[in-house]
Structure 1
Amino acid sequence: MLLSFVANWSVVLLCVGLKLPQILSVVRGGSAKGLSTYTGIAMIYCYSIGTVYGYVNDFPIKNYIEATLLLIQEIILFWLTCSIQGQRSLSTLIPAAGLYGVLMSALLSNIFPAFVLDALVFAVTPISAVGKMTQSFKIFKEGESGNLSATTWGLLAYGCLVRFCTSLFEVKSMILAFNYGLSLLQNGLVLAQIQYYKKWPRQKKRTF
């Protein structure tokens, strides 16, 4: 019980600033090189559904508050990435943010049938998988990890490990346990790529 308590709250405390190393890396470097906007969109979806699922089903707040904290930081990181890469204008982001707010309010109000939320939760796994595969492929394709933060991805892997255990043994939700287990493997892969390419970046071919 003590180990579970410490593990749970260590994740919550880490999530207060888990994405901060990545945000600072982008701000200080003035570049979002290495970051995938598609991965950002996928993570916003996953953290949003994680927050809604925990809230609507009256889970203990310690079991899903990190999803909410990560959601806030992911939105900030996504905005920074889009702004720096010049991929989205305010005229696009503001309406999208408004639509997102309406949908989140509706889901948190629990006005939809239960099967709707269950379907959204099942979709978390493939969306998260595709999002992180996109990030992994981007690193492999470019042959470098750019401004990706090993600290952030390492903490993400740790958080998934703890949440995999609590979902399996405390909440007893096989859906969440499977999602966190898969995320753990993918976060570990991206972390390994970051560490590898920081030490041995692929030499780009010269063009004449």
Structure 2
Amino acid sequence: MASVALKGLVVPHFLPESCYDEFFVRFNLMHIPCLKILISKGLGFAIIAGSVMVKLPQILKIVGARSAEGLSFYSILLELLAITATMTYSIANSFPFSSWGEALFLMLQTVTIGFLVQHFGGRTGRGLTFLLVYFGALSVLLSPLSSMAVVTALQASTMPAVIISRLLQAATNYSNGHTGQLSAVTAFLLFAGSLARIFTSVQETGDPLMALTYVVSSTCNGIIMGQLLYYWNVPVDKRKKE
């Protein structure tokens, strides 16, 4: 009875049945292909669990300061485009949830940050319009109205979107001479998550476009992490000296 319950829990969420037999029937714990699957699945679900709160420190920092000083709204829009593209592309290709699930939670948190940037900038009306337009567009993308060609093209656009998004934020940081209300915790979690996703996307989807997207994302997130470390002791109200 216990073995049946264990199998029901593990298969197919963490392991295919063949790997379950290797580990729990033949006790072949060093079966490399199955170990790769187990590690990939474990990382994937860990990333998803972490993503539920990955941008919460950023949201709390904005709300606590009642300011979005130092955050680029255009950078947020481009990041949202990349997240949305990954989510819709993965759903359209029926990739396992463990390979992309964090995109759902990152999307909801990024939309919240986008609204807060507008709200605390004195443009609440624009923030509400932003929410309506975004969720309307998302509904269309997830509907049968969007072809696979459209979704694939959107996913291909994520690489320039991620690069431009991070460069905009990096330029804002450099121009201000500080990182403002940018959360170091959120930036680190995004960097670590994108690094781990390189492995899981190769292992679980075999899609080179997905893997390349995360390579680019990791590089760009690393730039922001570098700036956070460089400007660590610079106060928010200090401006870059000429």
Fold equivalence (TM over 0.5): yes
RMSD: 1.8
Distance of 1:97 and 1:175 partners within structure 2:
28
Q: In structure 2, how many angstroms separate the alpha carbons of the residues matched to 1:53 and 1:203?
A: 41
Which residue does 1:39 correspond to in 2?
75
1:160–1:184 contact (8 Å) kept in structure 2:
yes
1:81 to 1:56, Cα distance in 2 relative to 1, 3 A: same
Deviations 1:34-53 (A, max 9, x none): 11101111111111111111
C-alpha distance in 2, partners of 1:123/1:67? 16
1:36–1:134 contact (8 Å) kept in structure 2? yes
TM-score (norm 1): 0.91
- Asked whether 1:161 is paired with 2:199, we answer no
Among 78, 93, 98, the alignment partner of 2:132 is 98
Encode CA deviations 1:93-136: one digit per residue, 9 max, x unaligned: 43443333232122212323321111111111111110110001
Give the SS at the match of 1:199. coil
* 2:232 counterpart residue number: 198
Distance 1:99 1:29, change over 3 A: closer
Q: CA deviation at 1:57?
A: 1.1
Residue number among 149, 169, 189 corresponding to 1:115 in the alignment: 149
Paired residue secondary structure (1:58): coil
Is contact 1:56–1:110 with CA below 8 Å preserved after alignment? no
Aligned with 1:186 (options 195, 220, 242): 220
Larger Cα-atom Rg? 2
Aligned to 1:144: 178
Structure number with the bigger relative contact order (C-alpha 8 A, sep ≥ 6) is 1
Shift of residue 14, structure 1, vs aligned partner? 0.5
Q: Note if 1:70 corresponds to 2:83.
A: no
Q: Which residue of 2 aligns with 1:22?
A: 58
Q: Which moved more, 1:69-78 or 1:105-114?
A: 105-114
Work out the CA distance in 2 between the residues paired with 1:177 and 1:100.
26
Deviation at 1:204, TM superposition (A): 4.2
Q: Which runs of 5+ in 1 are unaligned?
A: none
1:133 to 164, 167, 176: 167
Distance 1:108 1:191, change over 3 A: same
Contact 2:48–2:102 (CA under 8 A) maintained in structure 1: yes
Letter in 1 for 2:202: L
Q: Is the 8 A contact 2:178 2:239 kept in 1?
A: no
| C-alpha distance in 2 between matches for 1:41 and 1:200 | 27
* Residue 146 of structure 1: how far off its partner (Å): 1.1
Match of 1:171 among 202, 205, 216: 205
In structure 2, the CA distance between the partners of 1:11 and 1:3, relative to structure 1 (3 Å rule), is same
CA distance in 1, matches of 2:136, 2:72: 26
Larger deviation, residues 37-46 vs 106-115: 106-115
